A and B are shown apart, each in its own frame.
Chain A
Amino acid sequence: MLYRVNSPQVISETVGGETIIVDLGSGHYFNLQGTAVDVWSGLERQEPVSAIVRRLEARYETGAEPIGASVEAFVADLESAALIVAESNGAAPAAVDEPAPVDGEREPFVAPTFTRFTDMQDIILLDPVHEVDSTGWPHASAAS
């Protein structure tokens, strides 16, 4: 399955190993850490979910829950939050190199999650922005 970030409504930035995602439409913002950052970075590059899972399987030790199921559940949560949308127009996935196996002991896999913050949504509810095209604006000739 292939997804893309729901831009321009959704913007994100990764700094210091954490990702901040802001949904300008809802006013919600999100914090991602650890494996969630890995998954988000792959989605940003438009990698198929299967390729993201393969990379995580090469890097982490599988825990009680299979990595694939955890990632798919997380991706579903991202889609449900309207942070990503499924590509339905046959967009080509990004080319992905097969992940190299990690030397030595692999880190235990921690299921990806996000934290959602809703304290800014009142601004959006009280001061919503509607972008309009030229048909919504008066024309000089009509106004004079």
Chain B
Amino acid sequence: MQEPDGHAEQADLADWVGSIATTFEQAASQAGLAERRLRVAGAPVLLRGAGPLLTQLSHALDHVADESDDEPELVISTWDSATPQIDDPPLPETDGSGPRGTLLYSSDGTRQVAYQVGLAQLSAYDGARNAWFWARDGAALPWWEPAAPFRQILHWWLAERDLMLLHGASVGLTHGGVLLVGRGGSGKSTCALSSLESNLLYAGDDYVAVGQSPVPYVSSLYCSGKLQPGHAKLLPHLPPPMFGGDGSEDEKAVFYVSERFAERMCTGFPLRAVLAPRVVGGTEPRLLPMPPAHALRALAPSTLMQLRPPRPDALSWMARLLQQVPAYELQVGGPIDAIPRTIERLLVDLER
């Protein structure tokens, strides 16, 4: 973690964040300014957009649209340099070497900035309530960005509210739900999306915000759903993908649950259990109690690796969470519609 290194560094980062803000205002003066109000994890959030990027990125947040005029606790300003064509914000000089996903990160203890070199995406947060997301060309965004927009900014901001952006899916009933955890490909998305034709409510299939005070609670962040192409056959109730991609092997189909299954979308519920899916075959899904340490192993690494840098107490935070709710291995097999029934039965049992 980059530590503050005296006044000079603080001034440098402050200057740079200030210049990012100035660039956005220039873009807004050319392209016009659009706004959308949201309520994210209970807090009012304002999205400001110059150009079409706001529409592109806010689709996944449709379900948390807010009609109130409450003073926003976070303001995210977003734009690109393609429509209309404007100058890039000041960016760090790099030699372009390294993998496409290379992230340059810096913090002075208050402000945080992250630049994804190969993707030409910039996230910045002033540590107060203002954040910025810029992409060089919104039309060239990778498929996953509109599905889970502003992740980096939300990761920083939620941590200040003692919430954590966790890598996991979540479904449940109004009185409580489960968090499905595991590395990519473990089956958590499939389990979550199988619930769309059941009594269960949907809070997300990849990232959710979780708090612990006063009780463990899941807040939905995104109404998107992602499937690997092969999964569409397993879940024929799902709509065709909203957009294709480059056809690469890891391409997933993305759709918006709030459009097709509006009645299933929810904004959150108390967290009652953590489930780690495992595909084992068999005729019916089974739930086996799981030691907290095993659940931590299923939850923590993928969260820590995907959202960088992790807050210093991230691992102990997750361990505390797992000591408050039971964890189970969800052994998946048999008909896919048996999965939500199994989860629902568990939630009803835990409520008794």
Contact = CB atoms under 8 A, between A and B. Distances in A.
A20 B16 contact: no
Contact of A137 (B1, B12, B308, B312): B12
B305 A8 contact: no
Interface string B66-78: 0000000000000
Given A16-B291, A20-B315, A133-B9, A140 B309 contact: no
B105 interface: yes
A18 interface: yes
B96 interface: no
Contacts of B296: 13, 15, 20
Interface in B282-305: 291-294, 296-297, 300-302, 304-305
Interface residues of B, number: 51
A19 B19 CA distance: 45
Contacts of B140: none
B18 interface: yes
A129 to B, nearest CB: 5
A94 interface: no
Interface in B1-33: 1-2, 5, 8-9, 12-13, 15-16, 18-19, 22
Given A22-B300, A117-B301, A132-B104, A140 B15 contact: yes
B280 interface: no
B91 A15 contact: no
Given A16-B291, A126-B99, A141 B183 contact: no
Contact of B293 (A15, A127, A128, A140): A15
A126 B184 CA distance: 15
B106 A133 contact: yes
Nearest to B318: A13
Interface in B86-103: 90-93, 98-103
**Do most interface residues of chain A lie in helix, strand or loop, or is the interface mixed?**
mixed
Given A126-B99, A131-B106, A137 B16 contact: yes
A133 B5 contact: yes
Nearest to B314: A11
Interface of A: 8, 11-13, 15-20, 22, 24, 27, 29, 31, 117, 119-120, 123-134, 136-144
29 contacts: A11-B314, A12-B315, A13-B296, A13-B315, A18-B291, A18-B293, A22-B301, A24-B305, A27-B305, A29-B301, A31-B293, A123-B306, A124-B305, A126-B100, A127-B102, A129-B309, A130-B105, A131-B1, A131-B106, A133-B9, A134-B12, A137-B16, A137-B106, A138-B16, A138-B92, A139-B16, A140-B15, A140-B16, A140-B22
